[in-house]
Structure 1
Amino acid sequence: MAASDIGVAAVATALPGPPIDNATLGRTLRAGGTFESWVDTFIGTSTRHLAMDLETGEVRFSLADLAETAGRKALSAAGVAPGEVDLVVMGTSMPDSLLPTTVNVVADRLGIDGVATYQLQSGCTGAMQALDVAHQMLLTGRHRTALVLGGDVCAKHVDLGVEFETLSPGELVNTVLFGDGAGALVLTADPAPGSVLLRRVLVRFVGRGRAPGQIVEWFGMGDRHEQRPALHEDFKAIEEHVPTLAAQALTELIEAQGWQPADLDYLLPPQLSVRMTDRIVKHLALPRAEEVSCVGETGNTANALPFFQLERMLSRMSSGQRAVAVAVESSKWIKSGFVLEAA
């Protein structure tokens, strides 16, 4: 291994409770008889996992709960003790609280102390940003082992008392699109022979002069009673720009490696929804890369998604194989991704 090689020692994920199918979700929302066919036609998700119990409204899992579970599993799989971790970085768009940061709550629970910790707030590229920070810090030689976390829990935005038929199109889509989950990855500056190596991470803000495609509000004591929507998404802008930005990120990543599209064995595409992912994969038009997707079973888990994709792929990679992952953030437009190669 070269001195600059950073290896993926292990990856693990956590989901809250059993899968919730569209029929169950439709009954909870008191939706009409066309609900299931509508979800299948426009979204494509078959199941998702939610931190909230749909029967009681009780929130059973926090983001810290899920991230702790994923982190503990990843450390165990990597054979790394908490005391060996010298860097923790987390990406999330919906932390449990503004303070204390969720990354520090998780580190405390895992028995990690006296190390650098960072929490990055971002939407669909937060996990990539966390990975980028950890990767760059390991390359400096000042750190040897990093725990990278990503995840989101959307319970704060679930209102079981709302009538499904009264929702606006944007609110309607968000109700069925998202799921909850967390992931963890152990990066090491001392990879074992035959490891999967993280070759490059891309994070590029491209939102100058562009209106936000997504807005997520937060409320405090002074404005908590205001009747403005907590979530807003410009789905037309997302449909227009995400495939193009994904293609740009893909091209930038593989050209920087000196690779050709035909050199790729696996593609981890953006996971907004099944239908949107299908469009993006067709747009990327890679000749032989195998698609690794999970959004149909997990729903859009935002910053947990790359970990679910990696968990599915890593055990299948063999020596010399190459993979590329791409994610696009629509809130103020970020293109991102990373490339892996099995040694």
Structure 2
Amino acid sequence: MSAAGRSPAARPVRLAGIGTALPGEPVGNDALAGRLGIAPEWVETFIGTRTRHFARDLDGGAVRWTLEDLCTDAADRALADAAAEPEDVAFIVVATATPDALMPTTAALVADRLGIDGVPVYQLQSGCSGAVQALALASALLGNGARGRRPVGLVIGGDVCSKHLDLGQNFREMPPSQLVNYVLFGDGAGAVALSREDGAGRAVLTAAEHWLDGLGRSPGQTVEWFGLADRHTDRPAVVEDYKAVESRVPVMAREVLDSLLDTLGWPAATLGHVLPPQLSGRMTERITRGLRQGLEWEEVSCVAQTGNNGNALVFFQLERLLPRLAAGGRAVGMAIESSKWIKAGFAVEAT
């Protein structure tokens, strides 16, 4: 496990600025279902997501935005929100499951676009839990002598899931384990600027933890990478075991919440907000009901509007949370990755 902001000798890690980016206009269920030739009622009933954004054109398939584009836009906005300049950035951490290329990394390309040089750049290859992994790594780096004029750690999470989806298939004959990916996911990116500078930002990142929980378990999601030797294989690019996800994720979310509260010593009744895992609109509703247990905290969700855009989700939730967080307010968030079953959670406290 990893943690942030708990050492009494270290100044707390502060959320100094935040920014997000979505490609193009929202795509509603009627438009998406019409393109796929399926019933919009199926999307609403089964998935519960109302809109999502795509970096690809749904009609012609042309790529309109890259992951690099979206991450750069989100990072620009986070730095502006923090009143920080590129020369303040001590390091960059990017979390993604869908990089534009294996090399060079999206992290390095974004640094170049931002005019940042001479600092470490990290890229974490992970699904929905990657954003929390990136926050944990950045918190450790800030406490380990990060250099810079201020300094600021720039943490970015994003995914362009549509790059893996073949729009030329016969969707009426597609099995549900593959079809779900065409209605579940969207594209986007988010970023936060972290700082240990006194007075920076509106809240403190009190914890960021993640741990593997997949020993002996089959993967709940597989995303293939195809090279020249196997690009014509019949293996689907993305497969989701949605039944396993439905069964496992609510239990894992509860375990993460209980673990964080126990570690922090926070009574559940002191929580003002909870940021539940953002798999889909319908799944998030179910998970939230299981987590609430009679408590009066406010849910902070985004997936019904943004779609499941992977590593961007935590940042969209934080963007919604921060304006609502009153002084002394506490919030806990969870991200569950079904690939090989990774638990992740974080806690935020208003200054």
Rounded Cα–Cα distance in structure 1 between residues aligned with 2:248 and 2:158:
24
1:4 Cα deviation (Å)?
2.4
Q: Pick the aligned partner of 2:125 from 105, 108, 121.
A: 121
> Is 2:157 aligned against 1:153?
no
Rounded Cα–Cα distance in structure 2 between residues aligned with 1:197 and 1:86:
19
Q: Pick the aligned partner of 1:56 from 53, 60, 69.
A: 60
Q: Pick the aligned partner of 1:322 from 324, 330, 333.
A: 330
1:155 Cα deviation (Å)?
2.8
1:191 Cα deviation (Å)?
3.6
Cα-to-partner distance string for 1:148-185 (whole Å, 9 max, x where unaligned): 00010023222221122011111111110000000010
Cα-to-partner distance string for 1:79-104 (whole Å, 9 max, x where unaligned): 10001100100110110000000011
1:123 Cα deviation (Å)?
0.7
1:194 Cα deviation (Å)?
7.1
> Is 2:226 aligned against 1:241?
no
Rounded Cα–Cα distance in structure 2 between residues aligned with 1:11 and 1:76:
8
Cα-to-partner distance string for 1:210-258 (whole Å, 9 max, x where unaligned): 1111111100011111111111121121111111111111111111111
Residue 193 to residue 116, structure 1, CA distance change in 2 (3 Å): closer
Rounded Cα–Cα distance in structure 1 between residues aligned with 2:239 and 2:63:
23
Tell me if the contact between 1:8 and 1:188 (Cα under 8 Å) persists in the aligned partners.
yes
Which residue matches 1:98? Answer: 102
SS at 1:136's partner residue? helix
SS at 1:218's partner residue? coil
SS at 2:76's partner residue? helix
1:27 Cα deviation (Å)?
1.8
Which residue matches 1:20? Answer: 27
Unaligned runs of 5+ in 1: none
Tell me if the contact between 1:52 and 1:59 (Cα under 8 Å) persists in the aligned partners.
yes
Residue 193 to residue 159, structure 1, CA distance change in 2 (3 Å): closer
Which residue matches 2:341? Answer: 333
Between the aligned residues of both structures, percent identity stands at 52
Rounded Cα–Cα distance in structure 1 between residues aligned with 2:201 and 2:158:
28
Tell me if the contact between 2:279 and 2:308 (Cα under 8 Å) persists in the aligned partners.
yes
Q: Pick the aligned partner of 1:264 from 259, 262, 271.
A: 271
Rounded Cα–Cα distance in structure 1 between residues aligned with 2:112 and 2:192:
17
Which residue matches 1:42? Answer: 46
> Amino acid of the residue matched to residue 221 of structure 2?
Q
Rounded Cα–Cα distance in structure 2 between residues aligned with 1:189 and 1:104:
24
Tell me if the contact between 2:21 and 2:74 (Cα under 8 Å) persists in the aligned partners.
yes
SS at 1:215's partner residue? strand
Tell me if the contact between 1:59 and 1:155 (Cα under 8 Å) persists in the aligned partners.
no
Q: Pick the aligned partner of 1:300 from 308, 315, 321.
A: 308
RMSD of equivalent CA atoms: 1.4
Residue 290 to residue 2, structure 1, CA distance change in 2 (3 Å): farther
SS at 1:88's partner residue? strand
SS at 1:86's partner residue? strand
Tell me if the contact between 1:184 and 1:307 (Cα under 8 Å) persists in the aligned partners.
yes
Unaligned runs of 5+ in 2: 1-7
> Amino acid of the residue matched to residue 27 of structure 1?
G
Which residue matches 1:188? Answer: 195
Tell me if the contact between 1:9 and 1:191 (Cα under 8 Å) persists in the aligned partners.
no
TM-score (norm 2): 0.94
> Amino acid of the residue matched to residue 334 of structure 1?
I
Cα-to-partner distance string for 1:39-71 (whole Å, 9 max, x where unaligned): 111100111100011122111000000000000
> Amino acid of the residue matched to residue 321 of structure 1?
G
